[in-house]
Amino acid sequence: MSSPDIASILENSRELDRLRKDQEEVLVEINKLHKKLQATPEVVEKPGDSSLSKLKTLYIQARDLSEKEVTISNLLLSQLDTFLPSGPPGQQRRRMDGNDQKRKRMKSDSDISRLSPSIRSHIEACVSLKDEQVAARVTSDAEKDEWFVVKVINFDEKTKEFEVLDEEPGDDEEGGGQRKYKLPASCIIPFPKRNDPSSTQEFPAGRQVLAVYPGTTALYKATVISTPRKRKSDEYLLEFDDDEEDGALPQRTVPFHKVVPLPEGHRQ
C-alpha cells in the first residue's frame, strides 16, 4: 500500500468523523425543538412562528449528512477492498454481493438511526396515550379556546391525528350523547401520571395553569395559590379566572393530575 493511498484513506476517515460530529450537533438541535414542541405544541399556531420550518431544515441537514456518511463509507470500503487479498472468482463475487447488501443496509439503517429516535419516541408517546384521558382543545374561535377532558381512542401515525371521545358532553351539546373528534397533536395535552407524582412537574405559586374545574370535565385558566408539596397532599390550591363569588375569587382544590401547563396564547 503506497503512502498516497494511506493518506487518502486517513483523510476520508477524518471526514467521516467530521460528518458524524456534525450529525450529532444537528440531532441535539432536533431534540431541543422536539422538546419545545412537546411542551408547548400550540406555539406552531402563532403568527410568525418558524419552529416547523426550522425542524424541516434540520431534518434536511440530517438526511444530507447521513447520505454523505454513506458515500464516504462506501469510498473507504472500496479503497480497502483494493488492498484485501482476492480469493477465487466465486468467493470474490459472493464477498462483493455481501458488501453491496451491507452498504444498502448501512444507508437504510443510517437514515433510520440518525433521523428516527426522537421522532419514533414522540410517536410512541402519542400511541401510548390510547385509552388515557387527556386535555383537548375541541373548539377554537376568535374569542376563546375551549378545553375538555376526553379519552384517546386512537392515534393515526400517518396523519398524526388523535381520535378522541368526549364521554361527558355538556347539556347544551347537540344530541346530548358522546362525541368523537379528530384533533392534531397541538390540541392535546397529556395529564400527569396519577400514580407517579414524584416525576411530575410542580407549578410554583403564582404560576398560571390550565386546570379541570371541580365537578366538571372542562379546563379553565387558574393561578396557583399553593402547591401539593407545600400542602403535603396531592392537590393544588387554585384560583380560577372569572370564578368570582361575592366580589372575591374562591380558592379551590384540584388534584395534581388534573393540572397542566397553560398553553401559550390561551384565550378564555
Q: What is the pLDDT of residue 90?
A: 43
SS3 label, residue 178: coil
pLDDT number for residue 119: 63
pLDDT, residue 111, reads 43
Residue 94 CA from chain centroid, whole number: 43
Q: pTM to 2 decimals?
A: 0.54
Per-residue model confidence (pLDDT) at position 89: 44
Say whether pLDDT at 76 is over 80.
no
Give the helix/strand (H/E) hosting 165. Answer: strand 161-166
Q: Are 108 and 162 in contact, with CB atoms under 8 Å apart?
A: no
- Residue 45: its pLDDT value, please? 76
Using alpha carbons, select from 135, 126, 140, 139 the residue that is nearest to residue 211: 135
